Amino acid sequence: MSILNEKIFLILFVFIFSSCSNATEDNTTETSCDLFFNTTTPCKYKNISINISMEKIADDEKLLKQLNVTNNDKKSTLLISKDTSILQGDKGFISFIDINFDSVPDIAITTSFGLANLYLDYWVYNADKKEYVYIGNFPQFKINRKNKSLSNTVKLNAEKYNKTLYHWEGFKLISNSSHRLITRAKKITKKFKLTNIELSCLNFVVLENQIKRKKVIDVHEKHNTLCGGDPETSPRLFSIAINESNGEIWSDAKSLLGQLEKLE
């Protein structure tokens, strides 16, 4: 190797080593911070700083109470899911990864440790109102930035897994499965004018409970003399409930909608 080549190699080596060293030292550019039993230092990312409040309940266990967030000098308190605790030896993290594709850092914190399924509390930042919006406690999301969607997979047992896909409607996260069913239900509602209006022996009722973040779609038999129903013996014909926070569906929703769609 010539002297000139040796000098070029040395310069490149020093430059690369220096760049790596600087990247390691600048932990404010990391999109997550490790969380331990004895964590006391703030978690920082760009203009955001987070201190976590814990409450000691045993020598080796602490409750995770809340995140005290400072974002551009504006302070927020984010309550962590109830009864979330961390043990001595557990390791979790606080994340700033953008999950709703608006190029603004969001916040998440692990609420399960050492389990097959990792759950987190998620908040997205509403830049217009300058506040964090709680999305819910979900299994860890896999982010698809190409089609702006989220997914997660839950291990049910040694051989069975359940995968759920999600999309955004404003600041509301909707599972694709419940969205399709609700869309079909709305079409049926419009077709038969069943929303709170009696049609033959069926009454289609849509209720929404914001506190529990559930939407219940209930189709049932009208137990009255006109329909010949006996409230003591006549079974409920249809009943489904869709929990939009996790996409879980109770009863045979698809079968129900299929039967209604066949009606003329």
pLDDT digits (tens, 9 = 90+) for 66-89: 999 999 999 999 999 999 999 999
Q: What is the mean pLDDT of residues 245-258?
A: 49
pLDDT classification of 12: cutoffs 50, 70, 90: very low
Q: What is the mean pLDDT of residues 217-224?
A: 41
Ordered structural domains, the chain, with CATH: 27-170 (2.40.128), 177-262 (no CATH)
Burial class of residue 21 (count of CB atoms within 10 Å of its CB; 0-12, 13-18, 19+) = exposed
For residue 198, the model assigns a pLDDT of 34
Altogether, the residues listed in the chain come to a count of 264
pLDDT classification of 157: cutoffs 50, 70, 90: confident
Q: What is the mean pLDDT of residues 3-13?
A: 45
Residue 197, CB half-sphere, CA atoms under 13 Å: how many?
9
* % of the chain at pLDDT higher than 70: 55
Burial class of residue 150 (count of CB atoms within 10 Å of its CB; 0-12, 13-18, 19+) = buried
Nearest partner of 153 among 144, 168, 140, judged by Cα: 140
Mean pLDDT of the chain: 72
pLDDT digits (tens, 9 = 90+) for 57-69: 999 999 999 999 9
Residue 111 pLDDT greater than 80, yes or no:
yes
Q: Where are the alpha helices (DSSP H) in the chain?
A: 3-25, 176-192, 253-262
pLDDT digits (tens, 9 = 90+) for 93-103: 999 999 999 99
User: Alpha carbon of 147 to those of 2, 10, 31, 176, 212: distances in Å?
Assistant: 51, 44, 21, 13, 29
Extract the tokens encoding 183.
Answer: 């869309």
